[in-house]
Structure 1
Amino acid sequence: MLKPIVKFIVVVTAVASSYLMANDFPNKCSRDQNVNEFTILSYHEIADKSETLDPTYAVTPSNFDQQIHWLIANGYHFIGINDILAYRNSGKALPKKAVLMTFDDGYQSVYANAYPIIKKYKIPVVIALVGSWLQAKDTVDFDGQKIAREKFLSQKEIKEMIRSGLVEIASHSYFLHKGIQGNPQGNMQPAVITRQWLSDKHAYEDEKNYQQRIYNDLSANNTFLKHYTGQKPRVIVWPYGYYNKESRTIAARLGMNIGLTLDDGSNTRLTPLWGMRRILIDKSMTLKALEHDIGSRNANLTDNDRATKAAHIDLDYMYDPDPAQQERNLGDLLDRIKKLGVNTVYLQAFADPDANGAADYVYFPNRNIPMRADLFNRVAWQIATRTQVKRIYAWMPMLAWQLPHSNAAAKDSVVTLQVDSTHLNMGYPRLSPFSPKAQKVIKEIYEDLAVSPRIDGILFHDDVTLSDYEDDSTFARKQYKKWGLAPSVTKIRADREQYEKWTNLKTDYLDSFAMELAQIVRDRHPGLKTARNLYAQVALNEYAEEWYAQGLSESIKHYDYTAIMAMPYMEQAADIRQFYDKIVERVKQEECGLDRTVMELQTINWRKNDEPLSSEELSDTITHLYDLGVHHMAYYPDSVFKNIPDADMIKKAFGQKPVYMHTLTPNTTIPNNQE
């Protein structure tokens, strides 16, 4: 039986409560230094527990009343959509501490229990309506349950609220507030962003039909709401907070240029009207939590300020030709993740069964490379909905693709000059980043990955690199000429000035291409974060950028996180403790270094017959790194079926670090009944 969607999708999409005050942390490392211009609150039902349809997101009338009074008493001012548009379009100032109130789904309890307070205090609000629910005669199909139509707003009640001048109607879709089958395994996933799995055709919905389905639904809801309420929506409130570039573009074509989401973060001058962020108010929202959540938005603090505690998971361990065994493997993985207590997973999306360092297969449907199994979608969704994990990164190569021989870009490889055996050599095949055909294929692979409904970030593999003897391909030589350099690696290496310039240009070129690929995925996953694997030597040796075309400073500037492969046994470090200390010392020299760097530890010794590191050693290392001030930690690999590393040890060791990177000190007195 498929899991009902409403009971879990909002949970995983909703912004994680930050519980951070504006003055807890200076936020100098925030990607967005702009001021939060206004806060948007997202409510659902306003009803006592005995009367709710979904108690998780219901706020009692008494708590709602207290929240409104708290906002007023603390100097917040209520605004409407017109105020935001006047500010954005003509610069008309918003009041300080501006707050927009919104109500999703159109419950009757909003009219019965919230509207009297809205009228009393003249609060402008947005109410998002689902056309198919309003058009139902006797019952509404609500999360697979038959609910009486009277539990939702009547036409008379809607029109009365509109006439007050305080209520603006928004579209919440006509029939997209539901889950549809999103993979062969039967996961029900958000209808707005999911390419539906068509069981009868054993295929996914194609792009043309997907976009037509979204257009038809949003268009139908606009037509219905205009007729039913007298107001044509100019605001789209995305069901469950999910949207993408295609859906928001369609909404704009239909006159809805304003989109309300559940994205994490503040509403600053850089926040587009189509992606305005809201705080989800649920049954557990106390006044203290409300203050903290608004404070975190005012401080531009996001889920990025959560200390990373990451497991690096190989999908190869989950894969099995027998679907039943594959599902059992997945069940074991989910149980293990719960025991580990991690909040982040770096999830392998590719496969390299011949172990030559280049991906021969992927775990998602695509146009260019064989699919080993349609597994990434399934595993990512199950982790997101069945465990405590907050962020799932797709672990992907950038250049290391072993394309089928029939692919036009298969031979457009990085060319490495012959060097002596003692010199650093990357050792695995990669496509040349300077080849237009290779770039096109790589972009298409990332486009196809992005179709997966749940991706919070991209972790770029350690192949974002070119050695100091690479790339000497025809494509690379053309690029070197454009840079004003000699047309070959040999000639460039003969001139120290050109050599240094070449190193810097290659580093920037690779990072820029990574950002371009990330943006392809971000178009469908707006809150996407980026991380990259970085060789430890880049942080330890001043000449390492020449060897790898990787730079610590550049990486910290470009990526949200830089995952340094702090693996002393792999690096054959003479002094293990000193190895870690030197990396951390170097990271601390960078502005925001600790805030944007992940220390990725090894759990086995590959140079000693894959011998596992002891639990005591790993625990001591994690403790030591935390003592040095490290915020973010990860490990690799995780051997699911061998309990390597020991799950209890990891949970205890990671538990030494608070959830957030900085100590929190509440500074507001809260009424006892709201604690």
Structure 2
Amino acid sequence: MSARTLVLGLLCLWAALLPAPARALLVLSYHDIRDDVAPSGDPDRYAVSTANFAAHLDWLHAHGYTPVDVQAVLDARAGTAPLPDKAVLLTFDDGLRSTYTRAFPLLRAYGYPALVAVVSGWVDLAPGRVVPYGPRDFDRADFLTWAQLREMRASGLVEIASHSHDLHRGVPGNPQGNLTPAAITRIHDADAGYESEADYRARIDADLRASVAAIEAGAGARPRVMVWPYAAYSDVTNGIATALGMPLSFDLEGRSAEADLGERNRGSAESSDLGSLARLLMYDNPSVSDLVHELHRDLAREGMRAIQVDLDYVYDPDPAQTERNLDVLVERIRRIGPSHVFLQAFADPDGDGAAEALYYPNRHMPMRADLFNRVAWQLRTRARVRVFAWMPVLGFELPDPVLQRALAIAAPDPADIPRLDPRDVRTRRIVAELYEDLAVGSYFEGLLFHDDAYLRDDELGDFHPRDPAARTRALIDFTLGLKQAAERWRPRLVTVRNLFARPVLEPASEAWFAQDLEAFNTAYDFTALMAMPWLEEAEDPRAWMRALAAAAAARPEGLRRTVFELQTVDWRRGRPVPGATLEAQARRLRAAGVRHLAYYPDDFLRDHPPLPDARAAMSAREFPYPEH
């Protein structure tokens, strides 16, 4: 597909609780509809031409899609009526005037219902006020009026949703001043520090109340739907919206995430009855052929290319040097072009594998620097990668030595990572709160569970002593509890967990580690298999890697969910792995059918692995050629 393809994908929503078989729902998200949109390279990348929009409707109609309205989605959730086959819902964001002048006549012509989400503070914009919007400032003439909204609603085709009153903007999200989405950010003030949870909740509640009141007064009905600006929301914000009569919400998470119409967000007192549903964003003026390509694209065949990054390499006691290090990292990641970065959220200066401090504000550990959110946001916005937070599971060295001794696993081998006892309720509470604290104030899209999540067969002898699978399952359940704690503030997290190679090559060794590839691939979105022959002291690294790939491929979901994480340093001999060797490993693994690749570590300050080899091994671009 060309560079002007759709950036965010389609989410299929499975109505698991419905009496009829599960049906898919396609939700399309439009913004500005204009006659004069350039075929490619238009300054407003969210604009769609009137001709292409009409062609989309014509194609959907011709290919058996059934338009549905918001009530149909709510009925499906309630179990009172199933969605029809090939259901499609059209949505329009931001309350732009073209929704009335260009889209609405076509909706009437085709009889297609739609959801129009308005920023109530932009409707009937005051004379002289402008809103920075894409390539230029928009003024009153660019936004809908309340009279136009009433007319569209009176047609019976259009339902009005809230897109907030004043949350469609960025606010300072860290001490360095990065602007992050207002709906999910605890505002940072240079003098007062971070906004408290109570003040944050009050701010979101006040904004949504203002939006609901304005829409009810101006459009004639209270909104039932919340469409989150920038797809930025949480269980907490959804809970506030639900309490105000908006149980249905939408984001823009795309085909890479999955939810359903029945179970998502159940079990949480703050969760909405219906979690935010993803939409396919119409981006770069897609033609019908672009749309068809996206709808038929097999996402399972797309590979992850990930680089695991030590934040310890970025940090420096001198803040100015930290910023210089960050610039080097971001530029290198941009030039390599991976799809993901697994970013360290903890500090491990002594290299024992356990966290001595964290890189974000929290309740239980020292904070080395308030740095994780800054680096993660820079990588996302400047290098265009998805950032996953790399966190320990059990490997924490608590500042209270008495508590540390009380909770520590008595490891027979002093070389093992210091770890806390997962059976102890205090461990479960502390670690879950550390994950929640990370999610409160940081941007990330997934979690990489560190390789400290293991149990030797001679540790915790009374903990399922004769059942290795039960020990494996217990640690999996522990990590899923950590995901749940983080998802209160950062929803739809993708999970990845490190796995040693030996349980794959020697399945009986599950007893020695409480790890198993099949169990991991069932529990997590991906398993990061430590494909590191020099770490395992393999006599023939190439043959060892072939055997590992074959063993993984023989397991259910083996190559579909397994990330082969390569090493760039031979730690046992204290020397780097040549970049050409890394590139050759990646090439051979791809030839063997491996879909997902990663490497660790990336020494961006010393250019290792060398940039050309790193790009050849790990670029997710279609054409990973050097830049000139």
Give the secondary-structure state (helix, strand or coil) at the position aligned to 1:515: helix
Displacement of 1:15 in angstroms is 5.6
Following the alignment from structure 1 to structure 2, what is the Cα–Cα distance between the partners of residues 286 and 188?
A: 33
Alignment partner for residue 440 of structure 2, among 451, 461, 474? 451
1:568-607 to structure 2, matched below 5 A, reads 568-607=533-572
Aligned partners of 1:545 and 1:551 also within 8 Å: yes
Displacement of 1:35 in angstroms is 4.9
* AA in 2 matched with 1:365: P
Who is 1:244 aligned against?
A: 234
Following the alignment from structure 1 to structure 2, what is the Cα–Cα distance between the partners of residues 500 and 658?
A: 49
Displacement of 1:616 in angstroms is 2.0
Aligned partners of 2:343 and 2:388 also within 8 Å: yes
Who is 1:514 aligned against?
A: 479
Displacement of 1:425 in angstroms is 6.5
Who is 1:161 aligned against?
A: 152
RMSD: 2.5
In structure 2, the CA distance between the partners of 1:15 and 1:597, relative to structure 1 (3 Å rule), is same
Give the secondary-structure state (helix, strand or coil) at the position aligned to 1:531: strand
Aligned partners of 1:133 and 1:141 also within 8 Å: no
Give the secondary-structure state (helix, strand or coil) at the position aligned to 1:200: coil
In structure 2, the CA distance between the partners of 1:261 and 1:293, relative to structure 1 (3 Å rule), is same
Aligned partners of 2:8 and 2:252 also within 8 Å: no
* AA in 1 matched with 2:105: P
Following the alignment from structure 1 to structure 2, what is the Cα–Cα distance between the partners of residues 86 and 654?
A: 45
Displacement of 1:141 in angstroms is 4.2
Q: Deviations over 1:456-497 (max 9, x none)?
A: 11111111011111125xxxx5xx4xx6xxxxxxxxxxxxxx
* AA in 1 matched with 2:388: Y
Alignment partner for residue 173 of structure 2, among 174, 182, 185? 182
Following the alignment from structure 2 to structure 1, what is the Cα–Cα distance between the partners of residues 350 and 334?
A: 31
In structure 2, the CA distance between the partners of 1:274 and 1:542, relative to structure 1 (3 Å rule), is closer
Following the alignment from structure 1 to structure 2, what is the Cα–Cα distance between the partners of residues 517 and 194?
A: 21
Following the alignment from structure 2 to structure 1, what is the Cα–Cα distance between the partners of residues 49 and 402?
A: 60
In structure 2, the CA distance between the partners of 1:574 and 1:96, relative to structure 1 (3 Å rule), is same
Who is 2:72 aligned against?
A: 83
In structure 2, the CA distance between the partners of 1:205 and 1:15, relative to structure 1 (3 Å rule), is farther
1:523-542 to structure 2, matched below 5 A, reads 523-542=488-507
1:122-521 to structure 2, matched below 5 A, reads 122-134=111-123, 136-143=125-132, 146-201=137-192, 203-265=193-255, 268-270=260-262, 272=264, 273-296=274-297, 306-389=302-385, 391-405=386-400, 408=403, 411-416=406-411, 418=412, 427-471=416-460, 477=462, 480=463, 499-501=465-467, 503-521=468-486
Displacement of 1:358 in angstroms is 1.6
Aligned partners of 2:124 and 2:146 also within 8 Å: no
Aligned partners of 1:412 and 1:438 also within 8 Å: yes
Could you list the runs of 5+ residues in structure 1 that have no partner in the other structure? 1-10, 23-33, 419-423, 484-498, 660-675
Displacement of 1:362 in angstroms is 0.7
* AA in 1 matched with 2:184: I
Displacement of 1:72 in angstroms is 1.3
Displacement of 1:270 in angstroms is 4.5
Give the secondary-structure state (helix, strand or coil) at the position aligned to 2:398: coil
Displacement of 1:200 in angstroms is 2.7
Give the secondary-structure state (helix, strand or coil) at the position aligned to 2:572: helix
Displacement of 1:408 in angstroms is 4.3
Aligned partners of 1:604 and 1:637 also within 8 Å: yes
Q: Deviations over 1:589-628 (max 9, x none)?
A: 211100111111111111222x111222112111111111
342-351 or 265-274: which moved more? 265-274
In structure 2, the CA distance between the partners of 1:368 and 1:626, relative to structure 1 (3 Å rule), is same
Following the alignment from structure 1 to structure 2, what is the Cα–Cα distance between the partners of residues 113 and 509?
A: 56
Following the alignment from structure 1 to structure 2, what is the Cα–Cα distance between the partners of residues 232 and 41?
A: 23
Who is 1:555 aligned against?
A: 520
Who is 1:30 aligned against?
A: none
Following the alignment from structure 2 to structure 1, what is the Cα–Cα distance between the partners of residues 473 and 77?
A: 35
Who is 2:29 aligned against?
A: 42
Following the alignment from structure 1 to structure 2, what is the Cα–Cα distance between the partners of residues 361 and 446?
A: 13
401-410 or 172-181: which moved more? 401-410
Displacement of 1:553 in angstroms is 1.7
Displacement of 1:551 in angstroms is 1.4
Q: Deviations over 1:330-363 (max 9, x none)?
A: 1110110012121111101111112333210111
Aligned partners of 2:365 and 2:399 also within 8 Å: yes
Who is 1:671 aligned against?
A: none
1:614-629 to structure 2, matched below 5 A, reads 614-629=578-593
Following the alignment from structure 1 to structure 2, what is the Cα–Cα distance between the partners of residues 277 and 271?
A: 15
Displacement of 1:293 in angstroms is 2.7
* AA in 1 matched with 2:161: A
In structure 2, the CA distance between the partners of 1:367 and 1:595, relative to structure 1 (3 Å rule), is same
Displacement of 1:150 in angstroms is 1.8
- TM-score normalised by L of structure 2: 0.90
Displacement of 1:294 in angstroms is 3.0
What percent identity do the matched residue pairs reach?
39
Give the secondary-structure state (helix, strand or coil) at the position aligned to 2:289: helix
Displacement of 1:64 in angstroms is 1.1
* AA in 2 matched with 1:500: R
Give the secondary-structure state (helix, strand or coil) at the position aligned to 1:220: helix
Displacement of 1:47 in angstroms is 1.1
* AA in 1 matched with 2:234: N
Q: Deviations over 1:486-537 (max 9, x none)?
A: xxxxxxxxxxxxx432x22221111110011012122322221111111111
Aligned partners of 2:336 and 2:619 also within 8 Å: no
Aligned partners of 1:598 and 1:631 also within 8 Å: yes
Following the alignment from structure 2 to structure 1, what is the Cα–Cα distance between the partners of residues 78 and 511?
A: 48
Aligned partners of 1:140 and 1:146 also within 8 Å: no
Could you list the runs of 5+ residues in structure 2 that have no partner in the other structure? 13-20, 265-273, 624-628
Q: Deviations over 1:421-476 (max 9, x none)?
A: xxx7762211111111121111110010111342111111111011111125xxxx
In structure 2, the CA distance between the partners of 1:49 and 1:377, relative to structure 1 (3 Å rule), is farther
Who is 2:609 aligned against?
A: 645
Following the alignment from structure 1 to structure 2, what is the Cα–Cα distance between the partners of residues 188 and 49?
A: 32
Who is 1:4 aligned against?
A: none
Q: Deviations over 1:624-650 (max 9, x none)?
A: 111111111111110001111111112
Q: Deviations over 1:532-581 (max 9, x none)?
A: 11111111223311111111221121111111111111111111112111
Displacement of 1:268 in angstroms is 4.5
Following the alignment from structure 2 to structure 1, what is the Cα–Cα distance between the partners of residues 130 and 367?
A: 37
Following the alignment from structure 1 to structure 2, what is the Cα–Cα distance between the partners of residues 247 and 367?
A: 22
Aligned partners of 2:187 and 2:195 also within 8 Å: yes
In structure 2, the CA distance between the partners of 1:195 and 1:49, relative to structure 1 (3 Å rule), is farther
Displacement of 1:88 in angstroms is 3.2
Aligned partners of 1:532 and 1:562 also within 8 Å: yes
Alignment partner for residue 92 of structure 1, among 75, 81, 94? 81
* AA in 2 matched with 1:137: A
Aligned residues: 596
Aligned partners of 1:137 and 1:149 also within 8 Å: yes
